[in-house]
Amino acid sequence: GMWRRLSSALMFDAVHVVVSAVRELNRSQEIGVKPLSCTSPLIWQHGTSLMNYLRMVEYDGLTGHIEFNSKGQRTNYTLKILEKHPAGHKEIGIWYSNNTLAMNSTSLDLNASETLANKSLVVTTILENPYVMRKSNYQEYQGNDQYEGFCVDMLRELADILKFSFKIKLVDDGLYGAPEPNGSWTGMVGELINRKADLAVAGFTITSEREKVIDFSKPFMTLGISILYRVHLGRKPGYFSFLDPFSPAVWLFMLLAYLAVSCVLFLAARLSPYEWYNPHPCLRERRDILENQYTLGNSLWFPVGGFMQQGSEIMPRALSTRCVSGVWWAFTLIIISSYTANLAAFLTVQRMEAPIESPDDLADQTNIQYGTIHGGSTMTFFMNSRYQTYQRMWNYMYSKQPSVFVKSTEEGIARVLNSKYAFLMESTMNEYYRSLNCNLTQIGGLLDTKGYGIGMPLGSPYRDEITLGILQLQESNRLEILKRRWWEGGQCPKEEDHRAKGLGMENIGGIFVVLICGLIIAVFVAIMEFVWSTRRTAETDEVSVCQEMLTEFRNAVSCKKNSRSRRRRPLTSTGGGVLRHPSRLTLAGPRPIRLIREMRLSNGKLYSGAGCPDLGPGPQRLLEDPLVAPPAPPRSFLQACSHVRICQECRRIQSLRPAALTPPPPGASPPPRPDPEADVTAI
C-alpha cells in the first residue's frame, strides 16, 4: 500500500512539473502541435526549450522539495527516516541528498522503554588475533560458534548480563574504518553508519573522529600505539666468546706489546751492568763468571708470568728492567680489569641493542621501513597528527612506494619478520605477538593512550546498557581474567632470565679447548725434547737411538738415581745468557758457561749460587760433570729422587778454606735461604 501511495505522489508531482514547464514555455513562444513520424529524423522544434524549462522548475510537492540539476536529476531533497512502531511510524531522522544523515537522537533517548532484552543484534567484527578468531575446525560449526577469542567471550558475557542475542557478521571490506575523501567511512565504522550492524565488537579504537559519526561504549581495554620490530640478533655466544671482550685488533696489539716488552727487557738486561751477577760466588772455578738471567727464553717467559698474574721466579734487579716490568704490570692490570669487567656481558649477551630505540630514531632514518594497518585508527593518528615527528613519519608512509601499509596485522607481522620493517601497532596486539614469537620486540614506549570500545550507530538506544554491562564485567574482573586467558601462553623468556641462567658449555667451552690444546702441545714438545736429547746422547755413545731411548725412558719412569748420573755431553747452544767478566776473562774455560746456560734454557729456573741447597736435577748434572766438578761422592750417599741434594763443592770449599769465602758483590745474589744443608752437612 505504501509503495502505491508513493508512486501516486510521485506521479502527481511529475504532472505538476510538466504542466508548469509547458506553461512557462507557452508564455515565451507560440507552441503549435504537429504530428511527427517516428521514422523521420525531424524533431519537435520546441523540444530542447521544454527540456530546459523542465530543469528550471522548483516546486514544493507531495514528495517534498522538487528541484533538478543540470543533468535532470532531482537534487536538494530529503528523506525522512521512520521507525516502525505498533502504533504506526515515527520519524527518527532525516537523510539529505548531499549524503548526510541527521538522526533524531533526542527522540531516541526519550524512548527509554527500549531495552536490549530479547533483542537480536547484528554484530560486525573483524578477524584479529586474539580478539576474534576462527576456530581451527570452524567448518564444523554454524553461525557464532565458528568464532572464538577475547571479544567473542566478552560479547557472550554481555549477552548473558543484558539478555540479548546476537549474530556475528564479519565486516565486508575487512577494515576497521577510516574516513574517505568524499566524507563516507570504510570498514566497521561505515557498516554502523549504514546501519548494517547494531554493534561493532572488536579491537575497535575510540577516536574523536569516529565518535562524531558513531557512538562508543566506555572503553573495555586501554592501550597505545607502539613499535614492533624483530629482535636484533647479536652473535650467539659461541665457544670462543671469551675472546669477545676485546676486538681482534686489541688482541693483536697485546701480542705485539708482549713481544716488544720481551725485546726491550732482553736488551735492557743486556745493557744494564746490574743484571750481570755471579750465581756461584762460592765456587772458586766460577768466581769470575757473570750471568744474566734474562736469556731470550726468560725474557719471553717473564712477561707471560706477569700477564697471567702468576709471576715467575725471575726478578728484575736493575732499575731499567724493573721499569720495564713495572709498566708491563700496570698494562696487565688495566687489561685484565677491563677484560674481567666485560667478560660476563659478552658471555651472556645474545640480544644486542636494536638499531632504533624510539619513534624519533625511526623518523630520522630511511634504512628501516615502517608502516601501519591500512584504514585503522593508527593510520588516522599519523594522518591527523600535529606533532612534527609524527607528521614526518606520515609524509614518509604516505609517499613511500611500494606501500608500507598492510592489509592485516598478520601481514604486518610477516613483513616485520622477513624484511627490515617496523610495524606501528597497538600495544595489546604487540604484546600478544611478542609472547608468541620471541624474535619480536617492542621498541620504545607508547606513542599515545586510548581505549577500545564497543561501537554503535549514532544515537543507539543500547549505549547506556552496554556501557553498564562493560563496567560490571570490569569490576568483577571478568575482563582481566579473559585478557589473561587469551594473552598468556608465550614461552619467550624474560630479559632478566638470561642473566640469571648459569653459563653453559656453549658459553665457556672454548677455554677447555684451549686447555686441551695446551696439554697436547706440551706433551708433544716433551716428546720432542726427549727424542732430541736421547738422539744426541746416542750419537756420541754410538748406541742405537731406540736402545738409548728405551733406557732413558725406563730410567725416567723408574726414577733411579743413575738416570741422573749418566754420562752426558754438554749440549751446545747458541746465544748467551752468560758472560765472562772481562777482567777475569782468562780464569775460566768456556764449557761451564755453556752448561749453566743450558740448564737455564731447559727449566727456566734460576740456580742461585748462595748456599747451594735444594739442587734440582739440572745443577746436579752440572756438579757431576767431570769437567767441572770434582769427583762425585759415592752414589749411595744420595737418596734416589731426593729433592735435597748436597752441594759437594760448597762443603768442600767450606771445609777447606772457610776464610776464602768472599761475600758476594752487593746486589748480585739473593741472601742465602734457610736450607736443609745445615742438617746434611752434619752427617
Annotated binding site for L-glutamate: 205, 210, 377-378, 426
Residue closer to ligand GLU (CB basis): 198 or 548 = 198
Q: Smallest distance from the beta carbon of 206 to ligand GLU, in angstroms?
A: 8
Give the C-alpha separation, 300 to 312, whole Å.
11
Residue closer to ligand GLU (CB basis): 214 or 629 = 214
Give the C-alpha separation, 212 to 458, whole Å.
8
Judged by the rule CB under 6 A, the positions of this chain that interact with ligand GLU are 176, 203-205, 372-373, 376-379, 425-426
| Closest residue to ligand GLU using C-beta atoms | 376
Backbone angles phi, psi at 318, to 5 degrees: -85, 155
Residue closer to ligand GLU (CB basis): 147 or 216 = 216
Q: Smallest distance from the beta carbon of 50 to ligand GLU, in angstroms?
A: 53
CB of 389 closer than 8 Å to CB of 360: yes
Query: Closest by alpha carbon to 371, among 420, 421, 407, 446?
Result: 421
Query: Closest by alpha carbon to 199, among 229, 159, 233?
Result: 159
Q: Smallest distance from the beta carbon of 385 to ligand GLU, in angstroms?
A: 14
Cβ-proximal residues to 579 (8 Å cutoff; 6+ apart), any chain: 276, 290, 291, 292
Residue closer to ligand GLU (CB basis): 203 or 303 = 203
Residue closer to ligand GLU (CB basis): 379 or 443 = 379
Residue closer to ligand GLU (CB basis): 205 or 460 = 205
Q: Smallest distance from the beta carbon of 106 to ligand GLU, in angstroms?
A: 29
Give the C-alpha separation, 338 to 345, whole Å.
12
**How far, in Å, are 482, 530, 590 from residue 556 at the CA level?**
79, 10, 29
Q: Smallest distance from the beta carbon of 376 to ligand GLU, in angstroms?
A: 2
Kindly give the interhelix angle for 47-56 and 2-28, rounded to the nearest 10 degrees: 120
CB of 617 closer than 8 Å to CB of 564: yes
Cβ-proximal residues to 567 (8 Å cutoff; 6+ apart), any chain: 541
Q: Smallest distance from the beta carbon of 375 to ligand GLU, in angstroms?
A: 7
Q: Smallest distance from the beta carbon of 122 to ligand GLU, in angstroms?
A: 19
The annotated binding site is made up of 205, 210, 377-378, 426
Q: And the C-alpha cell for 440?
A: 619480536
**How far, in Å, are 133, 229, 431 from residue 438 at the CA level?**
22, 11, 11
Identify residue 98 by its one-letter amino acid code. N
Residue closer to ligand GLU (CB basis): 298 or 427 = 427
Cβ-proximal residues to 539 (8 Å cutoff; 6+ apart), any chain: none
